[in-house]
């Protein structure tokens, strides 16, 4: 089943992005898998999709590098002539006491998490405006809503994404483009590999639905926002978090 729509997902070599790519391909999208370092993992996601009859390609680009982002966008437009859905998922996180956050760590976090989403969106937006349609889905985090101790830099970067989403939704709504934000709770991916099983259990215990989330929980939310069922939803933050933050 091909729906003839093109979906680009950044940071799709593993974790949440890989699951979004896989589920989008099953839903019939032509999927562009962006990655930066994990080429082999990205190729595996691509191969898994192709094995199941889906359509996808992998494109390497560091989302924080303006020239690489321009090339990524040009390659997609040359190949498909359009982008229907952009999922800004690539992100990094780290733990640090506030007083130990170096300027380099602060800049790196904002370069990837905030400037990355800005650069990728700025590159693809003109083609959406030209066609007067498109969906942009920015991945924030529950920590961007409520803040996380020892993750001030990460929380601030994820809060910036919420502001960017809301402001851009107002600006491009008249051009027929919806911009929304997905702010997941704690999700079982490599990003949380520093957490011990005890940490994960206590996070699950604090969650009304009594478990931490899966990449599939996030992918389903993203695909809903990408679908026609969400055509009157823009500027919103949807948080698949099991009730962890209400
Ligand atoms: P992950 O497993 O660590 O995967 C991160 C992905 O981002 C990888 O595919 C990585 O690609 C890519 N990436 C990192 N820097 C990049 C760059 N400069 N350019 C392009 N791609 C880059 O993380 P995840 O848990 O799936 O997280 C995905 C998103 O969800 C992030 O924005 C994260 O902040 C957000 N989130 C995660 C959780 C959670 O609990 N896991 C909760 C809330 C929000 P390469 O390996 O190829 O470099």
Among 8, 13, 15, the mutation site with the greatest number of ligand 1 atoms within 8 A of its Cβ is 15
Q: How far is the CA of 58 from the centre of ligand 1 (A)?
A: 16
Q: At what angle do helices 152-172 and 116-131 cross, to 10 degrees?
A: 10
The pTM (predicted TM-score) of the whole model is 0.98
Cα 5 to chain centroid distance, Å, stands at: 18
Residue 3: the pLDDT is 79
Evaluate: CB of 184 within 6 angstroms of ligand 1.
Answer: yes
User: Ligand 1 pocket, 62 CB below 6 A?
Assistant: yes
Ligand 1 mean position, distance from CA 174 (Å): 31
Local confidence band at 1 (pLDDT 50, 70, 90 cut-offs): low
Mean pLDDT, to the nearest integer, of 177-204? Answer: 96
Q: Residue 13 has what pLDDT?
A: 98
Q: With a 6 A CB cut-off, is 93 part of the ligand 1 pocket?
A: yes
Report how far ligand 1's centroid is from the alpha carbon of 236 (Å): 21
Q: Please work out whether the CB of residue 112 comes within 6 Å of at least one atom of ligand 1.
A: yes
Does residue 146 register a pLDDT over 80?
Answer: yes
Q: How far is the CA of 47 from the centre of ligand 1 (A)?
A: 20
Task: State pLDDT tens for residues 35-77.
Answer: 999 999 999 999 999 999 999 999 999 999 999 999 999 999 9
What is the best residue among 17, 110, 155 to mutate for testing ligand 1's pocket, by most ligand atoms within 8 Å of CB? Answer: 17
Residue 20 has pLDDT above 70, yes or no: yes
Percent of the chain at pLDDT > 90 equals 98
Res 88: pLDDT = 99
Ligand 1 in reach of 187 Cβ (< 6 A): yes
182 Cβ inside 6 Å of ligand 1? no
The mean per-residue pLDDT over the stretch 218-225 comes to: 98
Query: Which atom, in ligand 1's list, is nearest to the CA of 140?
Result: 44
Please identify, by atom number, the ligand 1 atom nearest to the C-alpha of residue 215: 26
21 lines ligand 1 (CB under 6 A): no
Ligand 1 mean position, distance from CA 246 (Å): 24
pLDDT above 70: residue 165: yes
Mean per-residue pLDDT of the chain: 97
């Amino acid at each position: 089943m091909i729906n003839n729509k093109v979906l680009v997902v950044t940071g799709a070599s593993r974790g949440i992005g890989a699951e979004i790519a896989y589920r989008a391909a099953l839903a019939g999208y032509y999927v562009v898998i962006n990655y930066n370092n994990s080429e082999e993992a990205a190729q595996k996601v691509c191969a898994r999709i192709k094995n199941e009859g889906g359509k996808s390609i992998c494109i390497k680009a560091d989302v924080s590098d303006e020239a690489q982002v321009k090339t990524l966008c040009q390659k997609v437009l040359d190949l498909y002539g359009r982008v229907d859905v952009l999922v800004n998922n690539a992100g990094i996180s780290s733990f640090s006491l506030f007083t130990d956050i170096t300027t380099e760590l602060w800049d790196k976090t904002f370069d990837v998490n905030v400037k990355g989403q800005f650069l990728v969106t700025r590159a693809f937006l003109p083609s959406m405006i030209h066609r007067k349609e498109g969906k942009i889905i920015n991945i924030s985090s529950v920590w961007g809503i409520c803040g996380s101790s020892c993750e001030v830099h990460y929380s601030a970067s994820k809060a910036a994404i919420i502001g960017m989403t809301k402001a851009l939704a107002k600006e491009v709504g008249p051009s027929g483009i919806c911009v929304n934000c997905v702010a997941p709770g704690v999700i079982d991916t490599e990003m949380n590999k520093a957490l011990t099983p005890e940490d994960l259990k206590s996070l699950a215990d604090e969650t009304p639905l009594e478990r931490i989330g899966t990449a599939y929980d996030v992918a389903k939310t993203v695909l809903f926002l990408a679908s026609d069922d969400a055509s009157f939803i823009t500027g919103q933050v949807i948080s698949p978090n099991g009730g962890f933050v209400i």
